[in-house]
Chain A
Amino acid sequence: MSITLTINGQGRAVEVAPGETLLELLRRAGCKSVKLGCDTGDCGTCAVLLNGRAVNACMLLAVACDGCSVTTVEGLEVEGRLHDLQSASLDSGGVQCGFCTPGMIMAAVDLLSRNPHPTDEEIRAGLAGNLCRCTGYVKQIAAVRMAHAEVDDHD
């Protein structure tokens, strides 16, 4: 089956197998930031934005995403400038092994787009679907805090 999809701003026509997940499709299309950590929607390492909302790519059929727009962490850097959440993740020490990082950042992008000034509790709730075994979340939460402060600075 053939579908069209906008991946990180680029329209693409892709062939998909009927049972293929969005996760498999995106990795096949070269978006290796989209990780397979559990394949059951429990870990969040495959989180991407689908029409602006963070979803687990392992839980969606690729064919059902026909006509949708997908953003992965590869699409956040603009003209050599990291997204605030990417910078903040580096500066807060929120990146350890980095395997959960792309999904965590995408979940945080979604969170901040809806709630630009989350409390710590809201940050925790916003990242609830993104498991990390390295950090204890302390510095990842700090990164979101730091990023929304930077958003304010830009205002």
Chain B
Amino acid sequence: MPLTGLESYHRPVDLQLAVDLIRTSGPGARLMAAGTDLVLHGGDEITTLVDLSGLNLAYVEVGDTRIAIGAMTTLTDVLEHPALATYLGGLIPGVLRTVGSPMLRNAATLGGNLVRRQPWSDLVPLFLALGATIRHFDGTEHHAALSSFYERPGHRPDDILLEVVVPSYGVGVAAAFEKFTRSAVDIALLNCAVWVSADRGTCTTARIYVGATPRPAVDATSVAGYLEGKKLDQRVIAEAARLGATDVTTGDDRRASATYRTHLVEVGIRRCLTRIVRSLEAS
């Protein structure tokens, strides 16, 4: 039980109250989603937890141009939502099926995963590639790109992620995800998420994120830049994959070597792009 320093627990039903509690409870105060990660890795410096489960943030809202997912929606509820089964060919539930075990997904939340931002997170690169935006609250409500949320300097314990929004995409857009693991239930040794908008087979925009390098997901901007304006044929795909392997820095850890990870960057990008082309051709 690593949360040995915990003294108080709150489950506010009001956003402002949640922020106030965090601000007035000292340096050991933390926001908590499901807590599955905090309970394991929290540390004894945590003295106060503010549980977000009373804020009605568990929902999936389907609009004409977007799907909004409340931050406290469990991974299972995201996975099983019918609207997401058809979104980009069921990409999101497909990825979620590989995240942890059913028991973890029944408890863990989308917001918790994105905020905790473990380096091996599959959802971070996925939602970054999808161009997700977020609503968050620190006394005032803000709208921002998910990517900018990660670019903010410093740690903000009083900033509550409320909602993650993915835009609806029409014809000419496809996305793919690839994850490499040691076994069926495992964190990624490396993962990559690729999103492409194309016009008659020629890439107009691309977003490529590579995670678990073993550092947190990075934007492979050179690959995206290379792809833009190119016809997505096998040669271009191979070259993009090679470029990714060259430009994405990988490292060793107890799970895989940098050499192997670099090899996987190439395989992953190639596979994602190949799948994307197939999907674009089919649409």
Contacts and interface: CB of A to CB of B under 8 A. Distances in A.
Interface in B95-152: 97, 100-104, 106-107
Contact of B11 (A18, A19, A50, A66): A66
A60 B106 CA distance: 11
A98 to B, nearest CB: 19
B106 A59 contact: no
A53 B39 contact: no
Interface string A115-155: 00000000001101110000000000000000000000000
Contacts of A110: 102, 106
A107 interface: yes
Given A20-B1, A61-B35, A129 B101 contact: yes
Contacts of A47: 103
Interface centre among B3, B80, B97 (most CB of A within 10 A): B3
Contact of B3 (A19, A41, A53): A19
Interface in A35-79: 40-41, 44, 47, 50, 53-56, 58-61, 63-64, 66
B60 to A, nearest CB: 17
Interface in B52-84: 53, 74, 76, 80
Contact of B106 (A40, A55, A130): A55
| Chain B interface helix/strand/loop/mixed | mixed
A60 B185 contact: no
B6 interface: yes
Contact of A129 (B4, B74, B185): B185
Contacts of B9: 1, 18, 61, 63-64
A55 B103 contact: yes
A64 B101 CA distance: 21
18 contacts: A18-B8, A19-B1, A21-B39, A41-B103, A44-B103, A50-B107, A56-B101, A56-B103, A56-B104, A58-B39, A59-B104, A60-B39, A61-B9, A64-B32, A64-B51, A64-B53, A129-B101, A129-B102
